[in-house]
Structure 1
């Protein structure tokens, strides 16, 4: 048998060296982790949240990571029998004559170029003083004595800026919320 350049002559001597250099506790932890992770074709690509959580901390008793719980889930109440009002979600963009006639900006009619999210909620037989409204980054919670709406928004919004207007003649609450997106500095420059 030919001797290796490092002075090792067999596989058993390499294994013996690995055993000397490795930490036994780390090896046991790795073995326990990998034995609990069952690999199947669905595991190609990034790990799913359960397996990520298992990798992060095996001793933790928590079953949900804070990022896995959808925003607004604290408002879900299945025993509440109030009806859900009709609503409509629209996108709004600010354009000027230089956009429409001259095409000087990179704006187009798509929602990518919209700055605001408009939510119109029909609330028949409701007074403006009866409305309770809570707006989060990706969730809208509206409650009245007769209606309840928990709406997951299609885009994150700035919860500190926005407008709410109740139109008495049509009994409609109109919310204009400013959208927050990572690449707005590219779209609106």
Structure 2
């Protein structure tokens, strides 16, 4: 054998996978290493779930009387009703900043006119015909606002998560408008403030 042929055989042995000693391998077609690699082979190997854990999870799902898992239901979906005949009122969402005198007059600080520098979200709900504040039922959740009266119903999915415990509402009798102030609770607020 020439040196060239020897080099080819050595290169072939380096690039090919080691052969296992088995009689089953003789019947299988030979596959190259590149045909076994794909997008799924990038990154760490997935942990295989043992059959006992898988059976246990299936058993728990069968024992549960829930139709859906909690991850499958969107927050606020329990309030969505298409059969409700009440009218959806007009509303506006406005963002509000808390400015100090240094930021206002001396322009010291890192606040900008953008909504990313705002701390509060103000929802103005117009409810014409409502005369008493006691007729309004309002609930706030992290990503949902629910406002109901005898004639109106508003189920609003909020654009940002809010702190429901610090929410406040004010009734403007002159304009028949409910003004709800919600403190936003965003993930990267520490960067903006």
Q: Structure 2 length as normaliser, TM-score?
A: 0.67
Question: For the residues of structure 1 that align with 2:116 and 2:23, how far apart are their CA atoms?
Answer: 57
Q: 2:105 aligns with which of 82, 86, 101?
A: 101
The aligned runs of 1:154-165 (5 Å cut-off) are: 154-165=159-170
Find the structure with the greater CA-based Rg.
2
Structure 2: give runs of 5+ residues left out of the alignment: 1-8, 25-37, 41-52
> RMSD in angstroms over aligned alpha carbons?
3.3
Structure 1: give runs of 5+ residues left out of the alignment: 17-38, 44-55
**Maintained 8 Å contact 2:160/2:184:** yes
Alignment coverage as a number of residue pairs:
148
The answer to whether the aligner puts 1:13 opposite 2:18 as a matched pair is: no
The aligned runs of 1:1-189 (5 Å cut-off) are: 11-13=19-21, 59=58, 60=61, 64-126=68-130, 127-188=132-193
Match of 1:19 in 2: none
Question: For the residues of structure 1 that align with 2:106 and 2:23, how far apart are their CA atoms?
Answer: 73
Deviating 4+ runs (over 3 angstroms): 56-65
Q: Structure 1 length as normaliser, TM-score?
A: 0.68
